[in-house]
Every structure is written in structure tokens, then in C-alpha cells.
Amino acid sequence: MIEWIDSHCHLDGFLKKGELVSVLQKAEESGVHQMIAIGTEPYDWDINHDLKLEFPSRIDYTVGMHPCYVKPGWHKLVDKLKAYFHKAQKPVALGEIGLDYYHLPIDQSEAEAHKMEQHDAFEAQLAIARELDCPVVIHSRDAFEQTLHMIDNSEINWTKIVVHCFSYSSEQIKQIIKRGGRASFTGIVTYKNAPNVKKALIEQGVDRLMIETDSPYLSPEPHRGKSNQPAYVADIGLKCAAYFGLEVETFAQKLAENTRSFFGLDKLN
């Protein structure tokens, strides 16, 4: 039986639309028995925590302040974030956190102010991650050097770091691997117009590879243009196995092992 894990998805939208049960059913049918619901702001931290209570063997979760959702007053939320790590059902990582210089306000001075705020919130959350010694999910867009520099400065052990939705080059992934970190890949690797991301995937190899949908965004081929969902991580996996010229079942098993060991997930019975 082929088994995939979606290492990064957002489930709150499906819950809101009353689609979660059918989305989980579809995932099950595609061999996706486990997934990680990723936090972006206080709104989804509670949702993700409650999903873990409701589906303990299928859903794990993280909490973190996404750079695009950092707002004035974020300082007050840091203690709230920490408190989740003392609950009975703990997050498996802190994230997604990082820097996003792609989605910035058009006004130059507003953009600069937001960059500063992103920087401060990222730094504060890296310090918490270091204190907790937990895995960290990094979101980084158009800010590679700055992201690398800040993680280096945090003195977090790079083996705890995953740069999710990797969209940089094969040269840049070398710098992550060299430090002991890793990248996870979305449906972008299935797009014909993203050869650099495919090259980066090959450069990293399968040793520490993880894949993800980042649903509801970024549907892989052949579902491009439609809303994404965890079931489609199987399509990403099939494509990646073909890129590496590996037999699908062995490849899927290796990725599931990588994901479980990185996030400390329990194996399904």
C-alpha cells in the first residue's frame, strides 16, 4: 500500500465551508493518511489544535505567525503562541514563520515598515523555537539571504529547519543543505515553467526530502487551476518519484519516514 504524508497544508478553509470530512475522505482514498495543519495567525492556531483533538491519528498541527500576517501588536501574541507547547496535544513545530518580500504594500515607506515588523516577529519566534528546541517551518519569499542570515544568527540547529514551498534555485538549496537544513516541495515541481525548482529538488536528493500541498494554494498538475487539497500530495509524489527514477512505493515510504522523523510524528497502526 502506498502511503503519502502531506507535510504542510491549511485546513481552516475546508472546515469553514463544511468540506473537511470529504477532503479527509478523498485524502484517505489517495493514500494520504496523515497531514500537518500549519498555523499562520491566532485565528487558525485554535482551529488546528482542535482538529488534532478531533482527528488525533490523522492530523498534526503547528502554530506560528506567518510574515504576511504580522500586524502591529504582534508582541502580545507571542506568549499565546508559547502556551500551545504546554497543552496536552502539542504542536509538532513552530511555523510557518519567516520573511516575505513578495507580498508587500505598494507604498515604499509602508513596505519598509512592514519589512521591519516581519523581521522583528521572525527574530522573536526564532528565539522561542530555540528555547523550545522544536522543529521550525520556514516561509521565505524573495528574501533568501536575509532568511539564511537570521536563522544563522538565531543559533538554531539547522537540522530542525525546513524551508517550505521551496522556490529558490539549486545554488541556493546547496547553502541550506550545507548547514544541515532541508527544503520541502509543493506542486510547483510539477509545473513546466519552474525548471529551477525541479533542479533544486534533484540537487537535494531524497535523503531528507519532504513534500507538501500547501493547500488550498498551488494545485499540482493535473489539477492546476482548481483548489488544492491534501489528496493531491500523491500527484506531487508520483511526479517526484519519476524525476528521481525511483519505484513509487519505496520512494513514498522514504518520504513518510523523513517526515515522521523530522516532526516526531507517530506511525499509523
What is residue 56's DSSP assignment? T
Identify which of residues 15 and 241 has a Cβ nearer to Zn ion in the complex. Answer: 15
**Min separation Cβ 200 and Zn ion, Å:** 16
Which residue's CB is nearer to Zn ion, number 138 or number 241? 138
Count of residues binding Zn ion (CB under 5 A)?
Answer: 4
Dist. CA 8–CA 95, nearest whole Å: 10
| Assigned C-alpha cell, 17 | 465551508
Query: 95: which residues sit within 8 A by CB, 6+ positions away?
Result: 38, 39, 62, 64, 135, 136, 137, 138, 139, 164
Q: How far is CA 231 from the centre of its chain?
A: 16
Q: How far is the CB of 51 from Zn ion (least distance, A)?
A: 15
- Which residue number places its CB atom closest to Zn ion? 139
Q: Distances from the Cα of 78 to the Cαs of 50, 65, 117, in angstroms?
A: 20, 9, 14
Q: Which is nearer to Zn ion, 33 or 66 (CB)?
A: 66
For residue 241, the surrounding DSSP H or E stretch is helix 233-244
Parallel, antiparallel, or unpaired for β 182-185 and 4-9? Answer: unpaired
**Least spacing, CB of residue 1 vs Zn ion, in Å:** 28
Q: Which is nearer to Zn ion, 42 or 248 (CB)?
A: 42
Write down the least CB distance from residue 88 to Zn ion, Å: 25
Of the two residues 185 and 251, which places its CB atom closer to Zn ion in the complex?
185
The residues in 140-199 that bind Zn ion, with binding defined as CB under 5 A, are none
Stretch that binds Zn ion, among 79-87, 95-103, 149-157, 218-226 (CB under 5 A): 95-103
Closest distance to Zn ion from the beta carbon of 66 (Å):
7
Instruction: Mention every residue, 6+ apart, whose C-beta is less than 8 A from residue 14.
Output: 20, 23, 216, 229
Residue 59 · residue 265 · CB < 8 Å: no
Task: Report 197-226 residues binding Zn ion (CB under 5 A).
Answer: 214
Shortest distance in whole angstroms from residue 186 CB to Zn ion: 9
| Least Å from the CB of residue 164 to Zn ion | 6
Binding residues among 29-88 for Zn ion as defined by CB under 5 A: 38
Torsion from C-alpha of 247, 176, 231, 93, nearest 10 degrees: 130
The 100-139 site mask, x for binding Zn ion (CB under 5 A), equals: ---------------------------------------x
Residues that bind Zn ion (CB under 5 A): 38, 96, 139, 214
